[in-house]
Amino acid sequence: MNRFISAVVAGVMVAGASYAGVTEDDLKNDQTITNQVVTNGMGRHLQRYSPLDILNKDNVKNLVPAWAFSLGGEKQRGQETQPLVYDGVMYITGSYSRLYAIDVKTGEELWQYDARLPEGILPCCDVINRGAALYGDNIYFGTLDARIVALNRKTGDVVWNKKIADYKAGYSYTAAPLIVNGLVITGNSGGEFGIVGEVQARDAETGELVWTRPVIEGHMGTYKGEESTMTGTLNATWPGDMWKTGGGATWLGGSYDVETDTLVFGAGNPAPWNSHLRNAGTPTEGNAGDNLYAASRLGIDPENGEIKWHFQTTPREGWDYDGVNEVVAYTDREGNKRFATADRNGFFYVLNREDGAFVSATPFVKDISWAEGIDENGRPIFVEENRPGNPADAADGKKGEVIFASPSFLGGKNWMPMAFSQRTGNFYVPSNEWGMDIWNEPITYKKGAAYLGAGFTIKPNYEDHIGSLKAIDPDTGEIKWEYKNDAPLWGGVMTTAGGLVFTGTPEGKFIAFDDETGEVLWSFQTGSGIVGQPITWEMDGEQYISIISGWGGAVPLWGGEVAKKVNYLNQGGTLWTFKLPKQLASAD
């Protein structure tokens, strides 16, 4: 459903806007074109770093609200979007698969699109949406019934609407699409329902499929309507037919490294969670029971969907430590081209950008219990007694041994994106210090039903904090500073050349930190928990910052004892935009 207001006249929204359309060069150079933000991650490498330094450590205290925009209605829940800014218009997505176009100068709504969601959708972890993608004169976003929609960015009219997968089988889609060379590239959600993770590429103009790449071994990819190659080798690391419902959802979307022309997507947990079922009759030596390519990062050729390389962070995964966390392309202090990813399993990994080869791994949260460390090949050194027990060993066969695992299945870091600063060379990682009681149970696959085979209760590891924003040196793994927060951190991070780090808290605070010391330099109470992603841009010589506020996401739904700890937090749906006025830019 579209709703237009008086700002839309004959399909033209903002007087004087050029509407030349977003090009591949715009996407490629998004980080350095400071009057726009046209990609998720403020650049397809996902560094979330801005070269703007109008706003800095000395004057950030003068940052003031410019306008606020309410998403309205009763459809609140979690708001995890990252805004986009182009040609005088800001675009945001909202819970329940909504998309808004907003006048960037005034905060007035230009148009709104509400997806017509069917009955029976099966979202795993709240009805959120993490953002859209711009290309040409279209804007693209995904919906909770596993569709990808292209809208005219000037009017909000539907250009095309395509099915990614069958929502009745548990598929959904919540990530921001990725645009590369005229292709709209998407993943899928639904790993808790025994779906099969896949990456798809469509023609941006028509929506027609160009290629598909399942991420679980044994499944066939396609290229231009024909079968292409099998993913992996059938039954090399999966027993029997379990690969057919093997999970590995690609639910967070991907990044793109233009220098190596590589898409990098993460694959989530294997299905079911009960690892003993997935390794039944399979030796654990070598990689026979690893369940590839679940809990992995994959380098993919954007032209045809072929897998270039893979790196599995948690083989034989049995704790729901998804491997989807974002992979950020950067260059280290010695000029080496690297990838970095902070995994759900609690380790911070550095990989070689050329081939995905392992470089290093260090813990970024405390009290990791499931592994002693990572060996020289990047493989975890398992603590086998800290793997949830096999129900088949129980007297009644109904519940395996309960163990305490840290981090919890929501991860040392979950979806919330970290940021890299080209100024300091450090990463700024939103993390959580929590653990869980977890046990395995028998389970059989049924279409559209939860396919876990496990039970769990999440618990805080410390009395004084759960959330922890950490500054990490990727060369050494050293934690340079830490900001502790009472509630779990669940929002994105941004860095700037002005020496600032921005993020928000579930308690509603939007905070600017000193990138070198972690000192809080400025904060603003937004009225609801922040689980969204900040951006910054320049307009008329002034620097602006935007963040969406609206508590929700997975924590209140899955958080166990932690959910009870934060049940007082109010939902919301407000987009806040701040600016540093020119007259205050040099003020003390």
pLDDT digits (tens, 9 = 90+) for 486-538: 999 999 999 999 999 999 999 999 999 999 999 999 999 999 999 999 999 99
Please enumerate in sequence order all residues whose Cβ is within 8 A of that of 379, keeping only pairs 6 or more positions apart, or say none: 315
Phi first, then psi, for residue 202 (nearest 5°) are -125, 155
Predicted local confidence at residue 302, as pLDDT = 98
Predicted local confidence at residue 284, as pLDDT = 52
pLDDT digits (tens, 9 = 90+) for 436-445: 999 999 999 9
CA contacts within 13 A on the Cβ side of 86: 28
pLDDT digits (tens, 9 = 90+) for 147-175: 999 999 999 999 999 999 999 999 999 99
Amino acid letter at 159? V
Query: Which one has a higher pLDDT value, 403 or 281?
Result: 403
Q: Is the pLDDT of residue 14 over 50?
A: no
Q: Is the pLDDT of residue 200 over 90?
A: yes
Q: Is 414 labelled a binding residue?
A: yes
Q: Is 257 in the active site? A: no
Give residue 20's pLDDT band: very low, low, confident or very high (50, 70, 90).
low
Q: Is 130 labelled a binding residue?
A: yes
Q: Is the pLDDT of residue 6 over 60?
A: no
Could you tell me if 265 and 300 are in contact, meaning their C-beta atoms sit under 8 angstroms apart?
A: yes
CATH of 2-584, one of 2.140.10.10, 1.10.10.10, 2.40.128.690, 1.20.120.160: 2.140.10.10
Q: In the structure encoding, which two tokens stand for residue 221, read together? A: 């990819």
Q: Is 320 labelled a binding residue?
A: yes
pLDDT digits (tens, 9 = 90+) for 400-446: 999 999 999 999 999 999 999 999 999 999 999 999 999 999 999 99
Q: Is 390 labelled a binding residue?
A: no
Please enumerate in sequence order all residues whose Cβ is within 8 A of that of 56, keeping only pairs 6 or more positions apart, or say none: 498, 499, 500
Predicted local confidence at residue 283, as pLDDT = 52
Q: Is the pLDDT of residue 4 over 80?
A: no
Q: What is the pLDDT averaged over residues 358-380? A: 98
Please enumerate in sequence order all residues whose Cβ is within 8 A of that of 24, keeping only pairs 6 or more positions apart, or say none: 181, 182
Predicted local confidence at residue 570, as pLDDT = 86
Q: Is the pLDDT of residue 16 over 70?
A: no
- Report the 10 Å Cβ neighbour count for 488: 32
Q: Is the pLDDT of residue 3 over 50?
A: no
Q: What is the pLDDT averaged over residues 347-375? A: 98
Q: Is 80 labelled a binding residue?
A: yes
Bridge-based pairing state of the strands 494-496 and 49-50 = parallel
Select which of 26, 320, 343, 515 is catalytic: 320
Q: Is the pLDDT of residue 287 over 90?
A: no
The residues spanned by each domain of the chain are 2-584
Q: Is 490 labelled a binding residue?
A: no
Could you tell me if 216 and 148 are in contact, meaning their C-beta atoms sit under 8 angstroms apart?
A: no
Q: Is 29 labelled a binding residue?
A: no
Q: What is the pTM of this model?
A: 0.95
What value does the mean pLDDT of the chain take? 93
- Report the 10 Å Cβ neighbour count for 510: 23
Predicted local confidence at residue 560, as pLDDT = 83
Secondary structure in 3-state letters for 81-135: CCCEEECCEEEEEECCCEEEEEECCCCCEEEEEECCCCCCCCCCCCCCCCCCEEE
Q: Is 338 labelled a binding residue?
A: no
Predicted local confidence at residue 285, as pLDDT = 59
Predicted local confidence at residue 397, as pLDDT = 84
pLDDT digits (tens, 9 = 90+) for 450-500: 999 999 999 999 999 999 999 999 999 999 999 999 999 999 999 999 999
CA–CA dist 581, 230 (Å, integer): 56
Rg, Å, the chain Cα set: 22
Please enumerate in sequence order all residues whose Cβ is within 8 A of that of 61, keeping only pairs 6 or more positions apart, or say none: 521, 522
In the chain, the percentage of residues whose pLDDT exceeds 70 is 95
pLDDT digits (tens, 9 = 90+) for 296-327: 999 999 999 999 999 999 999 999 999 999 99
Q: Is the pLDDT of residue 43 over 90?
A: yes
Predicted local confidence at residue 13, as pLDDT = 38
Predicted local confidence at residue 558, as pLDDT = 84
